[in-house]
Chain A
């Protein structure tokens, strides 16, 4: 794998005010050698897509606890496509009902990580996906 840094945007869309989980993931990714752009609470899909564009990230991690994932996620993916950034992996952390997971994956989400997920698993998936992605280009 090329040793160019993996750049990750961690964002917290929706209206709930808890970003502890997002911060834990951000720190774990930093400790795994990644550059994490942390944008904080209450991000709209537009803000997320704009930041992803300017920062040229490889990965976006969305922390969603509000239950609004079925509205937020497709919108983020659509905006990314509009910006010609369909190559960006989008993963979701938070509380997602089991029955929604297959639909999210179908839309193009790279992974859904519920409470209790080991950060090591997220790191492994990001590395693997990024390696594959970079080989293609």
Chain B
């Protein structure tokens, strides 16, 4: 059997190997992923991001357990976890320690956990993560949790992959809200204040609420079920809202407290994405972006192969000498193609 057939038939070693090939950007990885593409698009992706040590892995552990053991409104999905940690800029190595908090998940053959280092990968870690997620999707994992340390643009890009993004905060990590500093609050679909057993929880929640109100449209501008509403409609009600304001959920991940409530909000957000049509829009935007990225790099290398090194160097020199602007150089290149 080839790699594609192995993966579709549920061979976990074949899947693990493919993930390595994807991370190494190998040609076999690329072609296998292409062959698997028709089998993708089924998984529900949940991003979990936040400052270091806020309890993301502990939450992922609890959520995965919850979705495996309490099927609730849907059949219990097979669950995959992708945990991304930064590579050391000095050595290129990494310590990937998220599995420490996920030991409860071991022994379940329908849970697959993969640790990933951000590396200095070509096309960015977001692209590599997207490919890894695609492979897991094709392999039949219906729910995929993606953990990233919210520290920069790369992590924000990874979070954009997800259908639903949780931003995790914890009290007592300094006066400032970490997520605000990292600029990741705006990508939150659900805000989690973890470590709710710790002092300072009230302050954290107040600060978050204030930030949320600044970042979202005034209540007067919101229409809820066709009526003007005076209060921001938070996704606190049992019904599916048609305007989504990120709810705040308190959890104690180490004890599993608040997890059913969090899972309920996740479920509501998923419903919201479907009823509002946003699910479709997000998927299509993501696929078009991917298409355009490939088109750009494809066209570039195609074009580069079609002209001489001499011409390229000559024009580049003119740009160095500031006789041609980069934009003029491109115009010249594109015109010379038709000579």
B-contacting residues of A (Cβ < 8 Å)?
4-5, 7, 26-27, 29-40, 43, 46-47, 50-51, 53-56, 83-85
Contacts and interface: CB of A to CB of B under 8 A. Distances in A.
The size class of the interface chain B forms with chain A is 20 to 34
A35 to B, nearest CB: 5
A31 B103 contact: no
A76 to B, nearest CB: 14
B16 A35 contact: no
Given A50-B107, A54-B16, A35 B117 contact: yes
A26 B95 CA distance: 7
Secondary structure class of chain A's binding surface, majority of residues: mixed
Contacts of B107: 46-47, 50
B240 to A, nearest CB: 35
Contacts of B94: 30, 35-36
Max chain A C-beta neighbours (<10 A), residue from B87, B96, B112: B96
B117 A39 contact: no
Contacts of A26: 95
A38 B117 contact: no
15 contacts: A5-B23, A5-B93, A7-B20, A30-B91, A30-B93, A30-B94, A31-B90, A33-B91, A35-B87, A35-B94, A40-B100, A53-B12, A53-B16, A54-B16, A56-B19
A50 B23 CA distance: 20
Contacts of A35: 87, 93-94, 96, 115, 117
A78 B283 CA distance: 44
Interface in B92-120: 92-97, 99-100, 103, 106-107, 112-115, 117, 119
Max chain A C-beta neighbours (<10 A), residue from B16, B17, B20, B93: B93
Contact of B91 (A32, A38, A40, A54): A32
B29 to A, nearest CB: 11
Contact of B16 (A27, A33, A40, A56): A56
Contact of B114 (A32, A33, A55, A85): A55
A85 to B, nearest CB: 7
A37 B93 contact: no
Nearest to A41: B100
Nearest to B26: A4
Interface string B3-21: 0000000001100110110
Interface string B134-155: 0000000000000000000000
Nearest to B101: A40
A34 B117 CA distance: 10
A51 B93 contact: no
A130 B334 CA distance: 48
Given A47-B106, A53-B12, A85-B13, A34 B93 contact: yes
B113 A54 contact: yes
Interface string B72-100: 00000000000000011011111111011
B55 to A, nearest CB: 16
A15 to B, nearest CB: 15
Contact of A31 (B19, B91, B100): B91
Interface string B116-136: 010100000000000000000
Contacts of A36: 93-96
